[in-house]
Amino acid sequence: MPQELKSATGSAPRRSDEGVAARVRAIVDDVRTRGDAAVREYADRFDGRAPERLTPARVDELVASLPQQVVDDIRFVQDQVRGFARVQRESLHDVEVETLPGVVLGHRHVPVGSAGAYVPGGRYPLTASAHMTIVTAKAAGVPHVVACTPPIRGEVPAATVAAMHLAGADEIHVLGGVQAVAAMALGTESVSPVDMLAGPGNAYVAEAKRQLFGEVGIDLFAGPTEILVVADDTADPLTVAVDLLSQAEHGPDSPAVLVTTSATLGRAVLDLVGRLLPGLPTNDLAGPAWYDHGRIVVCDDADEMWRVADDLASEHVQVLTAEPRDALERMRNYGALFLGENTCVSYGDKVIGTNHVLPTLGAARYTGGLWVGKYLKTCTYQEVRDPAASAELGRVCGRASRVELFEGHARSGDLRAWRHGGDRFGWLDDVTAATPAAPAAGS
């Protein structure tokens, strides 16, 4: 049985909170009713400044205000994201197949018409979220992307705006929180309505997306960032400790978990985390995350380690074992895998090119993260070119529909069997009495 060297002492994060849900519902309803007027009031209250739709000239001014190295780095990272997203898009093929003589079925991958990208801020300029949401949408072929980000300490975050612009956003607003999500989903006088929403955010943003799902599509339901490190006795304790804290700094409710076959490693990591935390500038977030939600689980053997890891269905899974690629066969429940000591979750968050908008709170059991496919609708089409095939399908359709007592469906099939196969049906005789002879088969 697994043994815990360190257990979580805080309550587990939840997908929704009644108090948060009620406050979000009130804001969404207000934006739905009053549009821009409501958005301005909430922006003044929560963002500390009026919302602003940035003009091309203002965007150029903000980009020019940044050091060239910052702009170059944004371009580099977006090249990585765009390159991988394009490979993903190219892997998705339209299909068309003749399933029976004269019966053609197919599907096409059709981009949504518009997407809203929420790029969080407030405390830090989270430029990487612009790469993940906007670049990926554009690689999927989305024609119009609306992007919103909150001000930081009352100022327009120039680096975030640059990332949005260089990613290809068609409309950029300095606007945050529930009011931004609601404005994009519902549309206002100043903000264009979108077909789907994407991007991470705090509990209020996540709840707004949850409530608006159905009116618009969303990428996925998100909770606090999670990291799981899977390690054996070959792992370096310092690497494990540093990488656990790299994700704990996302917030005080971000779980950081080590699952290992080595009690020696577990004890060393526990000691190192305690020594590293006091000197970490984000200790105010990482400390509570580790002490309340951090865990170290020691397993009897590798089979148990992989089983425990898979049951956790974590957002980020970093594999520090002698054979890290074993995870590709041993695990099925994860948002993203990071294989080997040369790789880390922070690369996925910031620079490597895979998408960092990933499932949390166990959602990895049923979904992956944001990718070009989330912005595509796989739409089918059907065409029966052979009248004889239509007649035969009509006969089967009639029989199958009557088993389910769907007479209207059955008659649609009957009509084709009569028209193309010469079949006779009492209900049709009644309506075609003036011309009782059925059409010739195949006519």
Catalytic site positions = 315-316
Across-strand partners of 320?
231
Q: Directed axis angle between helix 18-34 and helix 203-212, to 10°?
A: 60
> Residue 208 is which amino acid?
A
Report phi then psi at 379, rounded to 5. -110, 130
CB 126 within 8 A of CB 202: no
SS3 string, the chain, reads CCEEEECCCCCCCCCCCHHHHHHHHHHHHHHHHHCHHHHHHHHHHHHCCCCEECCHHHHHHHHHCCCHHHHHHHHHHHHHHHHHHHHHHHCCCCEEEEEECCEEEEEEEEECCEEEEECCCCCCCCHHHHHHHHHHHHHHCCCEEEEEECCECCECCHHHHHHHHHHCCCEEEECCHHHHHHHHHHCCCCCCCCCEEECCCCHHHHHHHHHHECCEEECCCCCCCCEEEEECCCCCHHHHHHHHHHHHCCCCCCCEEEEECCHHHHHHHHHHHHHHHHHCCCHHHHHHHHHHHCEEEECCCHHHHHHHHHHHCCCEEEEECCCHHHHHHHCCCCCEEEECCCCCHHHHHHCCCCCCCCCCCCHHHCCCCCCHHHHEEEEEEEEECCHHHHHHHHHHHHHHHHHCCCHHHHHHHHHHHHHHHCCCCHHHHHHCCCCCCCCCCCC
- Residue 181, Ramachandran bin (φ over 0: left; ψ between -120 and 50: alpha; else beta): alpha
Closest CA to 345 of 261, 198, 240, 274: 240
* HSE, side-chain direction, 13 A CA sphere, residue 75: 7
